[in-house]
Every structure is written in structure tokens, then in C-alpha cells.
Structure 1
Amino acid sequence: MMTGVMLLPMESKTALTHFLISLHWRKKRESMDLAMYLFMLLSVYAANRVVGGIFSNLPNLIQITLYENQLQSISTGAFGHMTLKELWLYDNQLTHLEDNVFTNLTHLQLLVLSRNRISSISAGAFSGMTELGEVSLHTNRLTSFEEGTFTGLSKLVNISLQNNQIRSLPGKLFHGLPALRKLDLHNNSLPNVPQELLESLVMAEKLILTQNPLRCDRDILPLRDWIRRYPSKVLNSSPLLCLLPAPLRNTKIANLTDEDVMPLTTQSLTTIISTSTHALVTPTEMRRKPHTPPPKKSTPATPAVPANTISPTKQDNSGADGNEEHLSRNTVLITCALICTAVIASAIICVCWRRRKRSSSDLHQQAKNSSVI
């Protein structure tokens, strides 16, 4: 009775005639089992997928190995009710795992899906796998997970997710996994780890997070506190370091203070106030060089020059700066002239109005008022 099968890569020479069959016999070889295996072999090679019911007549298998066979999909129901303990599907071309694709494998303990092209996993893909102890999903194209992906896997001990492109993880992704001991997330794209997710890893013994672009802002504080609380659980070849922002690059996350990651500290507020003050005093300078104080004057003070006189020998360090200063001075002069004109015009109008009301008898007084104007 056949208990295990292994399909070699399609690239092997004369794959259909010179292939290795890994068979574990409980009693004696039965020709019916071998014939069924050959049928299964031809079906998988021809279709590049595991179709429904292909293993239905091999209920006593405990291990199936289908590596490097260019498998692109697995149909729901491909695995019937069987006592399979190990399923090796690495080095294929799988891109997606559908709901209930492994539902009948209630005795499976090891599932290896590494080195495929998996970019998405339906929330119910692992439904019903109550005995699963280890799942390997490393070296795929995963970027995120649905929250209930691992729900119901109460005996899951080891999850391998390294070498993917994971950018975020739901907070409740690993809730309800009391047996989880090792979680490998190194070489992904995680900027931080949610506090809710870390709280679900209290029973874990190893968390590997190296080679992630960790950003040290407020969102990194839960990870910092978790590392301080459980330093022995963070299994890394070197301390976890900040990648961003630039001022904190290569800083140990465990050594971060709250002030390091707060966006507005006392120093920052002082800088903002100082910058605002400079903006009020010299607006053109601050527009030219934002967030920097105006340059210090290194030349001694020169005598005052009349406003309508421009010295031809005076040169500035920068032509553009000189032009801006002259434009600013001319603008001030024009504004003052307009204000003075408006005041004088108002005074004239007021005097004329008063003149109409006054009596014209006192010519001497009118002459005096006119001279004042």
C-alpha cells in the first residue's frame, strides 16, 4: 500500500521513464497503487496544475512531494480525505491560494509552499487544517495578509515568511495561535509592527525582523517596548536599527527615547518660533533661503546714503541679492510716497470743506490758512 510519492522536476532527462519514486510501504506493493500513481504523474505533468480528485484513490499517502514541476494552480478539492502528514510544493509557479484548497487535509502537519510566486492568499485557504504545525511561505511575493488567514490553526508552531515583500500586517493576524513559537519575518518591507500583533506573540520564543526598513517614528514605540520587555525573543544576528528618518539611521531601536521620535519637541518649537521671527524681519531673505537664518554682515557699517542716490561703486556679494534689496527699498519708498500723497490730499479736502462753511469776511485769516497748506 503506497504511503508516499515524490515527483522529480520536469527538466530531468526522460522524466517519465527515469524518475525517482519515494515509496514507503506499510505492507506489500500493490499494482493498483502504482498504476494510479503513474496516472497521477502524467496528469500533473500535462496540466501544470493539481486538479480536483487526483489523489482521491490514494487515501493512505502520508507524504507527497511535487517540487520544481511548474505547477501554476491547485484546484479546490484536489486533495481528498486522506491521512497525509507532509505536503511539499516548493519551487513551483503558484501565484494564489484559494479558499478551502487544503480543507480535507485534516491530518497534515507540514506544508511547504516556499519559492513560488504567491502574491495573495484567501482568508480560508488553510481552513480545516487543525493539525498543521508548520507552514513555510518564504521567498514568495506576498505584500499583505487578510486578518483571518491563520484562524483555527491552534497547533501551528512555526511560520516562515522571510524573503517576501510584506509592507504591513493586520493586528489580529496571529491571534488564537497558542502554540506559535517561531515567526520569521526577515527581509521584508515592514516599517513597524503593530502593538496588537506584538501582544499576540507573548508565547512566542523567536521573532526575526532583520533586514526590514524600520522607520523610527511614533509607530515604532510598541516594538521598542516589546524588545525591552522580551530581549531574548528577538532572535537577530545584530541589533535592530532604524533606517529612517536620516537623523536616526543606525540607531538601536531598543535605545530610542520618546523624545527621539516625537515630531514636535521643545527644541523644534524654538526653531519654528525663531524662523517665524526672521520671516517677519527679512521676508525676502527667508523666501530665498527658507528655514535658515539670514547671513551675517561681515563688512563694517557705511555712512547713510540719500534715498534717491545709488552709489555706482557699491557691489554686493550676489547680484540677485542686490537686486532684491534695491527692489525692496524702492517698494518702501513708493509706498511712503503714496501714503504722504493721500494724507496731503485728505488735508486739502478737509480745508476746502471748512472754507465753504466759514465766512469770507476775514481775508487775512484765509491767506494764513492757505500759506499753511
Structure 2
Amino acid sequence: MKIFTPTEYANSIYAIDMQLLKEKGIKLILLDIDNTLVSPRQTMPTDSVISWIKTVKSDGFIVVLFSNNSKRRINLFNEKLNLHTVHRALKPLAYHFIKTARKFCVSCNEMCLIGDQVFTDIWGANNAGVMSVLVMPISPDEGASVKLKRLFEKRVIKHNKVETYCLIGNPLAHSKSPILHEQVYSYYNINARYLLFPIEQHKLGQIISKFRKIDVKGFNVTVPFKQAIMPFLDEISDIAQTIGSVNTVVEHDGKWIGYNTDADGFIMMLKSNETAVAGSRVKILGAGGSTPAIVYAVLQEGAKSVFVYNRTISKAQQIAQKFKNVVAMPIDKFDPQDCDILINTTSVGLAPNVYS
């Protein structure tokens, strides 16, 4: 089944580390079009696709549109891009991969194909000895034959035991979660991938539906969706209900179950630094999605008092109303005095504006 296994996975073209490809000696990028760059019904590239391709070319890569589509379809799509093209590429056959390598005077192991289908893109790349990146399909709007292939794709991926986990939020550029998770997967010999999914709030419902279709096993939630995600879940743990936010979602028997591990993680961090919480006076800056979990955690550990400071006082008050010994305060009343533990949950210092 290795013939159907990609070299790398990514949730989209925008999540691919092109610098890493360069370090691996890749010189030429082969791009599928439908459901890799745009949805199948979209005839022209989006502005974001045009910008991404421009960046890839400026990094020194040769870029080739490499599609099983007709010449007419590819030429229309290519009007604004002016790229080299291969139409009727006959994927998964290796013929046009090898022909393209010879045309541009590169070896097959210096090319990388980016596509969304296992039985055309990935199989073809493996047949030719070409590196491959499997991206998630952009749209479920596909023909009957492709939908049938998707069913078999799921079986192949499941057989290979490649499980998919994700992080959703916005922004995510600063996140090191894929690196951390993949280190753990490697250490414990777990065949899994961890992807970043930056999304807009109005697409939360859509992303949950998409995760079901592509067999995502679980995902983490970060700012600003820890509370907004809750209505889209099937069940929520008691602790997450008490805290009022979810940071971890697990698929179990076809249901999405929401948990909150922020509290446990925060206390583990404090204890690792030998910070005494019991009897302490705690002040928290910010009233976002992680704040209720931190309030819950320090109170469980016996904090004497908790003050929550926020620009929008009503948000701090909503948190204070849930717990005893918690006081909401406007941010302009903040004073670092009379405080044993100071916690910052605001976006101040968040990458890339680490000095803001």
C-alpha cells in the first residue's frame, strides 16, 4: 500500500513549507488544479492562489500545472498565471512525469507533485519516483466517479492507519503544534498527521462537516473559537461545561465530544515551576477563551482570590459570575501590587507582534 502513500500531508497549499522542500532538493513543483488550487467548478485562479504561486516562483521553483484536465480547461485557468502546463497528464501513469523531468533537465527526485487525489496524484507520483504532498480537497462538489474514488481513498488511508488531527483558530501562523505533535507521533511510532486550519468564524459549521467527511479523528481549538465551537458539538464534558469553553474535540462513535484540558495543562505548568497556588492572590489580564479554564484551575488548587481585568468589563463579569471568590475589574484599574501570581491571557506579545 506504500504506492498510495504520499510523502507529506498538508491541509492546503498554503500550509506547505516550501523552504523545507527546497532543503530537500526540490526544484520543480507539479500542481494539480481541481480541488487542489480551486474548486472543480471554478474556471480561474483566486487572488490568493495567484499570490501563492508568485511567491513560490520568487523562491526559485519552476512551477508546472500538471492536470488530467483538457487543454482548454488548463489554458483558461492559466491565462492569469502564465505557467508551463501539461494537460491530459494521464496520472497515475509515470510517462508525463518522466517527460516533464527531461524537458526541464531535472531528475524525478527533484520534483514534487501537489494534489488532492490518492489514486491519480499520489499513485502517479510514486510510480515515477516523485515526491508528493497530499492536500485536503477544497470542495465536496465533485463528479460521481471522483466521489466513488474518495470512498476507496478513505479505506486506503485507514488501512495505512494515517490518522488526521488538526488545530483550528485564527491566527495560527505562530503555532508550533504540528512540530510538537509530530515529535510525539514519531516517538511513540504513531502513524498520524497534525494540520493547521486557520478559519473564519462563519465557517465553523462548515469545517465540522468537512472534518466528518475526511475522517478527522480529533482537533484542538484555540482563539477565538473556544466558546463559539460548543454549539456545533454533540456532547460536552462536565468540566468543559463548567469552564464554558472547549479546547479539545474527539470523535467517538460518530459523535464530536468536547473537552477542556487547559485547566490541567496550566496547573501542570505551575507545578513544574514549583509555584504554590494554595492561598495565593491571583490576577489575570484578559477574559478570553482560556481565562475561565485558568480561573477554574487556580480555584481548584485553592487560590485565595482571583481578579480578572479586561477592557470590556462585561466579559470579565460573565466569568466572575460563574465562580466564587472571583472579582471582575476594568483594565485601567490594574495594579500589580498585592498579587502573588500574575497571568496574561491577552493577545499582547502574540507572534508575530511579540514586542507589541
User: When the two structures are superposed, what TM-score results if normalisation uses the length of structure 1?
Assistant: 0.28
Greater CA radius of gyration, 1 or 2?
1
Higher relative strand content: 2
User: When the two structures are superposed, what TM-score results if normalisation uses the length of structure 2?
Assistant: 0.29
Higher relative helix content: 2
Structure of higher RCO (CA pairs closer than 8 Å, 6+ residues apart): 2
